[in-house]
A and B are shown apart, each in its own frame.
Chain A
Amino acid sequence: MPRTTKRSSGPDSQADAIEELYTRGVTDGLPVVPPTLTRVERAIEASGRPGDDLIALVPPNYGRATVEKIAVNAVMAGCRPEYLPVVLAGVQAMCEEAFDLHGVSATTNFSSPLFIINGPIRKRLDVNCGVGVFGPGWRANATIGRALRLIAVNLGGARPGVISMSTMGHPGRYTYCIGEYEEENPWEPLHVEHGYTPSDSTVAAFAGDAPQGIYDHRSRTAKELLTTIARSLQVVWHHKATALGDTLVVLSPEHARTIAGDGWSKKDIQRFFWELCQKPVKDLLPGKDGGEGLPEHVLAKIPSPETDETLIPKFRAAGHLKVLVAGGTAGRFSAVIPGWTFPNGSNLVIKKIHSRD
């Protein structure tokens, strides 16, 4: 099969193309913008790179993500040409070994790549970081996330029910892309924490379940509020899950202000969450308070688990609890996003966005 298939059709060609693309199984179920030559050429031009440049091989099928193939999918998703540099960096991030797109795309778990945009490009492209940040209404968030999903399907093979075997999936599998609200963040933003400068623009890929909402209107101190959030973290996956890795905590601006107002750093927050999310062995036994619990190979090493008080952390290390600030400036809500975090599972990966301006 040729790499570039050109089809012609009659007078109603745009509508026919929409139907034909759906029938070919290359969409997410919603109508796509037909990737005409003119539109794709415009997107390639905006990327600043030649169309045949290879950006990555997309697991698990290892399809070649050239600039042209990325542009075709970005056009279908509805991206404006100037979004292309973000989509290219997103492809690099999700195709990095540490992200394990192979596992994320094939798993029966819920997970979907979530893309987090940092830096000045958020303003230039009008990326939503504020009110309704995980919701609809902003073209950049909607179409960049959607383009990356279409790339995982069309170049990586993550077709639902074929190679992608997620039992439940989640709505973020249509599109899952936010900006960090750096202007409302009392601490350093995600990309600076990972060694980039504030003037860099970056995109991070994180394999996440759907956001799990935390409501806390009444806590007045950092400690009270962080305790509420930590108790919600304790039930991630299930109440006896242990050995988890990268997990996101997205604080709303109001919550962030309460915490920072008491002088807590991000490291203090991570440490506090980690410490509160420990349970003694005796409370983690399968069959006691639910059939789940510590895996057999761990239990086998404990002589009398029924009375063992040794604390087992829910998260492998405090640094796995990634803290972001996003969402509307009104409302005392935050969100936890469980990760896809088996040992050797998926880790958050950040890539710099290279745009020409």
Chain B
Amino acid sequence: MHDGVFFEDQGLPTATVISSEFVKAARAQADALGAREYRPVVVPHPIQPLTREEVRLLADKAFDEILARLTP
């Protein structure tokens, strides 16, 4: 979250993709850094046991939300 908050503050729209287990941690970290409006894009946990193909499907599902996060 540090990087995303930094880029946004410097004027670069940023979409940070995280897994669902880390929503609370990401929220707390963004708040602690003063970025109350910063919202990550969430994909379902877990990631580590997935195959490449399964990870690609996650990207397919998350793509619209990533675009929405970067445009008005």
Query: Does A271 reach chain B (CB closer than 8 Å)?
Result: no
CB neighbours (8 Å) of A159 from chain B are: 28
Taken together as a complex, chains A and B put the C-alpha atoms of A165 and B33 apart, in Å, by 18
| CB neighbours of A106 from chain B (8 A) | 25, 29
Residue A157, interface by CB 8 Å:
yes
Residues of chain B within 8 A (CB-CB) of A162 are 24-25, 28
Interface membership of chain A positions 150-176, coded 1 if the CB is closer than 8 angstroms to chain B and 0 otherwise: 000000010101110100000000000
Q: How far is the CB of B30 from chain A (nearest CB, A)?
A: 11
Enumerate A257-306 residues with CB–CB distance to B below 8 Å: none
Majority SS at the chain B contact face:
helix
B61 CB within 8 Å of chain A:
no
Chain B contact residues (Cβ within 8 angstroms of A): what range? under 10
Task: Indicate if the CB atoms of B22 and A165 lie closer than 8 Å.
Answer: yes
Q: Which of A24-70 contact B (CB under 8 A)?
A: 60-61
Give bound CA distance, A60 to B25, whole Å: 11
Interface size class of A (residues with CB under 8 A): under 10
Could you say which of A61, A161, A165 contacts B32, with CB atoms under 8 Å apart?
A: A61
Neighbouring A residues of B33 by C-beta, 8 Å: 61
Q: What A residues does B25 contact at CB under 8 A?
A: 106, 162-163, 165
Contact present for A157 and B32 (CB under 8 Å): yes
> How many angstroms between the C-alpha atoms of A61 and B33 in the bound complex?
7
Give a binary string over B13-56; 1 marks a CB under 8 Å from any A CB, 0 the rest: 00000000110110011001100000000000000000000000
CA distance A106 to B24 in the complex (A): 12
Bound complex: CA A161 to CA B22 (Å): 9
Name which residue of chain B comes closest to A164, CB basis: B25
| A157 partner residues in chain B, CB cutoff 8 A | 28-29, 32
Q: Smallest CB–CB gap between B11 and chain A, Å?
A: 22
Shortest CB distance B35–A (Å): 12
Closest Cβ neighbor of A102 among chain B residues? B2
In Å, the complex CA distance between A228 and B15 comes to: 50
A60 interface neighbour in B21, B22, B24, B29, Cβ under 8 Å: B29
Across-interface contacts of A60 in B (CB, < 8 A): 2, 29, 32
In chain A between 287 and 331, which residues have their CB closer than 8 angstroms to a CB of chain B? none
Determine the chain B residues whose CB is within 8 A of the CB of A161 once the complex forms.
24
Considering only residues 123-177 of chain A, those with a C-beta below 8 Å from chain B are 157, 159, 161-163, 165
Q: In the complex the two chains form, what is the Cα distance from A165 to B21 in whole Å? A: 9
Chain A residues, Cβ within 8 Å of B22? 165
In residues 1-18 of chain B, which contact A (Cβ within 8 Å)? 2
Interface of B with A (CB < 8 Å)? 2, 21-22, 24-25, 28-29, 32-33
Q: List 21 A-B contacts (CB under 8 A).
A: A60-B2, A60-B29, A60-B32, A61-B29, A61-B32, A61-B33, A106-B29, A157-B28, A157-B29, A157-B32, A159-B28, A161-B24, A162-B24, A162-B25, A162-B28, A163-B25, A163-B29, A163-B32, A165-B21, A165-B22, A165-B25
Shortest beta-carbon contacts, A-B, top 5:
A61-B32, A162-B28, A163-B28, A157-B32, A163-B25
17 new A-B contacts, CB < 8 A, other than A157-B28, A163-B32, A165-B21, are: A60-B2, A60-B29, A60-B32, A61-B29, A61-B32, A61-B33, A106-B25, A106-B29, A157-B29, A157-B32, A159-B28, A162-B24, A162-B25, A162-B28, A163-B25, A163-B29, A165-B25
